[in-house]
Amino acid sequence: MITIIDYEMGNLRSVEKAFEKLGFDARVSSNPDDLLATDKVVLPGVGAFRDCISNLRGGGFVEPLLQHVEAGKPLLGICVGMQMLFDESEEFGRHQGLGLIPGKVVRFPAGMKEGGERLKVPHMGWNNISLKKASPILSGIEDDSFVYFVHSYYCAAKNTDDVAASCRYGDVEFCASVWRDNVMATQFHPEKSQNVGLNIFKNFGTL
């Protein structure tokens, strides 16, 4: 069973449908107790870090989520769901994350340019990723594959060994995917990344 956490801040149904399309038993749950019995957990996230982590804590999900990880079971974070795995974020002040991946979440600098043209923030749309190490969820994904991003803040990992893939936007090469033991995540949205995204969900579902 794959449980997708419903803490009122995620793109839930499209993630659930992607797993179902691949033949996996997946469900959206707003009950923290379900995390203690499930095989795998997906932590999605849309919106601001501050609001997401507040809802996650307020819904009582943090402790069972950490217990799930401590038990060695797979966890997949998506977008802000990946950002919350880090120590802290500077979005709308400083906010503590889950501390599963060392590092922090920072904003893209203002005034970035590429080819003489100013780049917009948020970073939104298709961009290519550079594979850094063999991550379980990126198995079969080709280097330089294009995936779909929507974010104004990015993860700055303290340890390069945690970075499974990176992406460049202007002068910033940021972490596009992380992997540490049974914790893995993508800054991009697999559910919006067509065949590449389906491959990622298939890899996670078969762990």
- The burial class, CB within 10 Å (0-12 / 13-18 / 19+), for 18 is buried
Active site residue 173: no
Provide the 10 A C-beta neighbour count for residue 86.
27
Known catalytic membership, residue 90: no
CATH value at residue 118: 3.40.50.880
Considering the candidates 95, 151, 175, 191, report the single residue annotated as catalytic: 191
Residue by residue, pLDDT tens for the chain (207 residues) are 999 999 988 779 999 999 999 999 999 999 999 999 999 999 999 999 999 999 999 999 999 999 999 999 999 999 999 999 999 999 999 999 999 999 999 999 988 888 778 999 999 999 999 999 999 999 999 999 999 999 999 999 999 999 999 999 998 999 999 999 999 999 999 999 999 999 999 999 999
Q: How many structural domains compose the chain? A: 1
The answer to whether the beta carbons of residues 84 and 97 sit under 8 Å apart is: yes
**What is d(CA 105, CA 156) in angstroms, rounded to the nearest whole number?**
6
List 16, 52, 68, 79, catalytic entry? 79
Which pLDDT value is given to residue 112? 84
- Model pLDDT, residue 165: 98
For residue 113, what pLDDT is reported? 82
Output the pLDDT for position 66.
98
Measure the CA–CA gap between 148 and 122, rounded to whole angstroms. 12
**Choice among 68, 95, 151, 189 that is catalytic:** 189
Residues 6+ apart with CB under 8 A from 91: 48, 49, 50, 105, 107, 152, 153
175 labelled catalytic:
no
Query: Which residue range forms the structural domain that includes residue 199?
Result: 2-205
The residue count for the chain: 207
